């Protein structure tokens, strides 16, 4: 196998692993982070539609602690959890667990911030028309904040690409793993450069797509 | 629907926003509430329209006490009230037609009936061809017409207007008031109209309550109050009134 072919097949496989890691971590962190973000917004004692000061304080604290946790340490702490959920603490599947959990508080904050941007008078109008709290969340808060939500999720995906490279460094596979194993440990600078370029292209592509979707929502109003 | 307020009191910290307000708002007429900025008009409207619970006192709709309803009944009751706000408060994520559809959607009306009702309402407010318009493409007056259509979607018995035209130019607000008068007659609505302009009261309302610092200082028929104003603030409001324009003059520029 020629050198170029080898690089292509190595980078190709690693790219797929990175995409798998980022995609599933995004999905799982959204499944947990979306309700948490909604809860943070609606229970806010000042602007929430169902103020619950104590619950809001507790959730805010948890989210803040998790968010300020260094990712590498979170990964190491979550190795046992990966073993329980995925059956192993090595590989792409195993990396999804800490990645998802690390992204949950980030997603929650992004969602909370976006929802709080909705004009409170518009929410009041919805309440005046006899909306239930659930209807306000589903039919008012989420649709009205769609441009910000999409921008926030785009940012999360980009962060996850960065985190997934770190996860790769401790056995998670993907482009970060490739760059370190070949570029750093085996002095294959060419492979490292290609891996880094692919990461940069991915980030740029996500950013462009995210901005496009967000502005489309913005222009449709 | 006839509304009765009994000794309503509402405070925010040490701001006495509404102080012991009792009012009888007759059915099937336009009732004005006038007061200076900060006098407690919006708070009073939020109490009467069941958006907030008063600290003390009671609100009756046709002799049914409504301010202390449990949450689920409160939601059902609110669906039979229309409110129009100064800041219009339409949903930017929805088209004009979808905004009008909102109150029908939350009641679970089937899609085809919503469509028919929305078309009817667009017609009623004179915007039959703007259903698919994005909100940002409408003028201020058109937005308020859509907001009125949205408020009327569920055939309410009561329509509240809180400074509905304060953000609009005189001509546009005149056409909005004409629409409100028109609709009031067509639908036999009880309209409660909050304003800080005496000209609006004179031209639109049958009854008026003058409020100052959260208290009703004067209340009665518009004709009676214009003929014999008692409170100083009422006299001030009347004195500040722009002269009634010459009816022959078609281009009315009165500051309504
Ligand atoms: N949600 C609120 N929290 C605290 N104070 C409020 C609130 N709403 C109104 N107020 C106060 O109540 C008083 C009456 O306000 P408002 O009813 O909005 O006046 P207006 O007659 O101009 O509509 C004002 O002093 C205002 O600052
Ligand atoms: Mg006001």
DSSP B18-29: EEEEEEEE-TTS
**Packing angle between helix A53-68 and helix A92-116, nearest 10 degrees?**
130
Mean pLDDT of B165-183: 91
DSSP helix/strand/coil, B168: coil
**pLDDT given at position A206:** 95
Q: What is the DSSP letter of B244?
A: P
Give percent of chain A above pLDDT 90. 60
Among partner residues B79, B85, B134, which is closest to A130 by beta-carbon distance?
B79
Q: Which two tokens stand for residue B64?
A: 């049914």
Q: Six-digit token pair at B237?
A: 């409001």
Token pair listed for A140: 């008012």
Strands B56-61 and B64-65: antiparallel
Tokens for B56?
């003390």
Q: Answer yes or no: do A221 and B81 touch at CB < 8 A.
A: no
The partner residue sitting opposite B91, judged by closest CB among A135, A144, A220, is: A144
pLDDT in tens, A191-221: 889 999 999 999 999 999 999 999 988 887 7
Mean pLDDT, rounded, of chain B: 92
Q: How far apart are CA B117 and CA B171, in angstroms?
A: 28
Would you state the pLDDT for residue B247?
55
For a ligand 1 pocket test, name from B8, B11, B12 the mutation site with the most ligand atoms within 8 angstroms of its C-beta.
B12
Bin B220: left if φ > 0, else alpha if -120 < ψ < 50, else beta: left
What average pLDDT does this structure show over A135-151?
96
A57-85: per-residue pLDDT in tens?
Answer: 999 999 999 888 888 888 888 878 888 88
Q: B10-32, pLDDT tens digit by residue?
A: 999 999 999 999 999 999 999 99
Q: Alpha-carbon torsion A87, A88, A92, A97, what sign? A: positive
Instruction: Determine, for residues A221 and B135 on separate chains, whether the beta-carbon distance falls below 8 Å.
Output: yes
Confidence at residue B248, expressed as pLDDT on a 0 to 100 scale: 53
Nearest CA to ligand 1 atom 4: B12
Query: Token pair of B69, please?
Result: 């309803």
Residue B253, pLDDT score: 47
- A1 confidence band (pLDDT: 50, 70, 90): low
pLDDT on residue B28: 95
Residues of chain A contacting residue B53, judged by C-beta atoms under 8 Å apart: none
Per residue in B234-250, pLDDT (tens digit) is 999 999 887 766 555 54
* Cβ atoms of B99 and B146 closer than 8 Å: yes
- The CA-to-CA distance between both ends of chain A, in Å, stands at 55
Average pLDDT over residues A176-189: 84
Measured in whole angstroms, how far is the alpha carbon of residue A2 from the centre of its chain? 37
Q: Token pair 């973000």 is at which residue?
A: A37
Residue B95 to residue B27: CA distance in whole angstroms: 33
Cα angle A173-A176-A180, degrees, rounded to a multiple of 5: 100
A4 or A50, which is more confident: A50
A139/B105 touch (CB, cutoff 8 Å), yes or no: yes
For β-strands B56-61 and B3-12, DSSP reports them as antiparallel
Whether the Cβ atoms of residue A135 and residue A126 lie closer than 8 Å to each other: yes
pLDDT band with cut points at 50, 70 and 90 for residue A36: very high
Please tell me the predicted confidence (pLDDT) of residue B251: 47
User: Is the minimum CB–CB distance between B143 and chain A shorter than 8 Å?
Assistant: no
Question: Are A194 and A7 a contacting pair, CB within 8 Å?
Answer: yes
Q: Is B252's pLDDT higher than 50?
A: no
B236 against A184, higher pLDDT:
B236
The more confidently predicted of residues B169 and B101 is B101
Which residue from B65, B57, B41 is spatially nearest to B8, judged by alpha carbons? B57
Whether the predicted pLDDT of B254 surpasses 50? no
- Cα angle value B240/B246/B248 (rounded, 5°): 160
Q: pLDDT value at position B246? A: 55
Strand partners, B160: B83, B192
CB contact under 8 A, B89 and A221: no
Question: Taking CA atoms, what residue in A is nearest to B154?
Answer: A129
Lookup: tokens for A213:
């979707």
Distance from C-alpha of A21 to C-alpha of B219, rounded to nearest angstrom: 70
**Ligand 1 pocket, B17 CB below 6 A?**
yes
Query: What is the per-residue pLDDT across A97-141, written as a single tens digit (0 to 9) for each?
Result: 989 999 999 999 999 999 999 999 999 999 999 999 999 999 999
What's the CA gap between B201 and B208, in Å, rounded? 7
Total residue count of chain B as it appears in this document: 256
Q: Do the beta carbons of residue B31 and residue B200 sit within 8 Å?
A: no
When pLDDT is averaged across residues B147-151 and rounded to a whole number, the result is 96
* B106 with A135: Cβ contact below 8 A: yes
Considering only CB atoms, which chain A residues are within 8 Å of B151? 129
Q: Are B23 and B197 in contact (CB under 8 A)?
A: no
pLDDT over 60 (residue B101): yes
Number of Cβ within 10 Å of residue A67's Cβ equals 13
Whether A3 has a pLDDT exceeding 90, the answer reads no
Place of tokens 């793993």: A177
**Out of A122, A131, A221, closest to residue B136 by CB:** A221
Strand B207-212 relative to strand B215-221, pairing? antiparallel
**CB of residue B35 inside a 6 A radius of ligand 1:** yes
Tell whether pTM > 0.80.
yes
φ, ψ of residue B247 in degrees (nearest 5): -60, -20
A21 and A172 Cβ atoms separated by less than 8 Å: yes
């Amino acid at each position: 196998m020629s050198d170029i072919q080898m690089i292509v097949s190595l980078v190709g496989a690693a790219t797929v692993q990175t995409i798998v890691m980022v995609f599933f971590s995004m999905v799982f962190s959204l499944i947990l982070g979306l309700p948490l973000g909604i809860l943070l917004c609606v229970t806010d004692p000042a602007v929430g539609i169902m103020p619950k000061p104590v619950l809001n304080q507790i959730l805010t604290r948890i989210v803040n602690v998790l968010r300020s946790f260094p990712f590498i340490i979170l990964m190491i702490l979550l190795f046992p959890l990966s073993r329980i959920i995925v059956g192993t603490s090595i590989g792409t599947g195993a990396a999804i667990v800490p990645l998802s959990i690390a992204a949950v508080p980030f997603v929650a904050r992004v969602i909370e911030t976006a929802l709080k941007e909705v004009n409170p008078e518009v929410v009041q109008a919805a309440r005046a028309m006899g909306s239930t709290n659930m209807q306000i969340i589903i039919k008012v808060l989420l649709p009205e904040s769609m441009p910000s939500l999409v921008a926030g999720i785009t940012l999360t995906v980009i962060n996850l690409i960065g985190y997934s490279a770190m996860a790769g460094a401790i056995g998670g596979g993907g482009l970060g793993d490739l760059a370190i194993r070949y570029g750093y440990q085996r002095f294959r600078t060419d492979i490292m450069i290609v891996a880094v370029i692919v990461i940069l292209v991915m980030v740029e592509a996500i950013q462009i797509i995210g901005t496009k979707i967000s502005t489309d929502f913005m222009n449709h109003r | 629907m006839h509304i009765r307020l009994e000794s309503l009191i509402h405070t925010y910290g040490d701001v006495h926003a509404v102080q012991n307000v009792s009012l009888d708002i007759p059915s099937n007429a336009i009732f004005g509430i006038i007061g200076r900025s900060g006098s407690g008009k919006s708070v009073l409207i939020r109490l009467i329209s069941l958006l907030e619970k008063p600290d003390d006192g009671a609100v009756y709709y046709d002799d049914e006490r409504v301010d202390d309803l449990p949450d689920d009944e409160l939601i059902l009751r609110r669906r039979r009230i229309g409110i129009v706000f100064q800041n219009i408060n339409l949903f930017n994520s929805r088209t004009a037609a979808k905004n009008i559809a909102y109150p029908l959607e939350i009641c679970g009306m089937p899609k085809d009936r919503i469509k028919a009702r929305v078309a009817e309402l667009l017609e009623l407010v004179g915007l039959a061809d703007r259903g698919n318009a994005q909100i940002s493409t409408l003028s201020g007056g058109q937005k308020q017409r859509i907001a009125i259509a949205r408020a009327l979607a569920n055939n309410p018995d009561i329509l509240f207007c809180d400074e509905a035209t304060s953000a609009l130019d005189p001509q546009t607000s005149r056409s909005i008031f004409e629409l409100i008068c028109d609709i009031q007659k067509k639908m036999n609505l009880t309209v409660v109209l909050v304003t800080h302009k005496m000209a609006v009261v004179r031209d639109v309302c049958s009854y008026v309550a003058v409020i100052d610092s959260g208290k009703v200082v004067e209340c009665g028929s518009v004709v009676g109050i214009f003929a014999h104003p008692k409170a100083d603030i009422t006299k001030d409001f009347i004195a500040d009134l722009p002269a009634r324009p010459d009816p022959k003059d078609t281009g009315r520029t009165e500051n309504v």
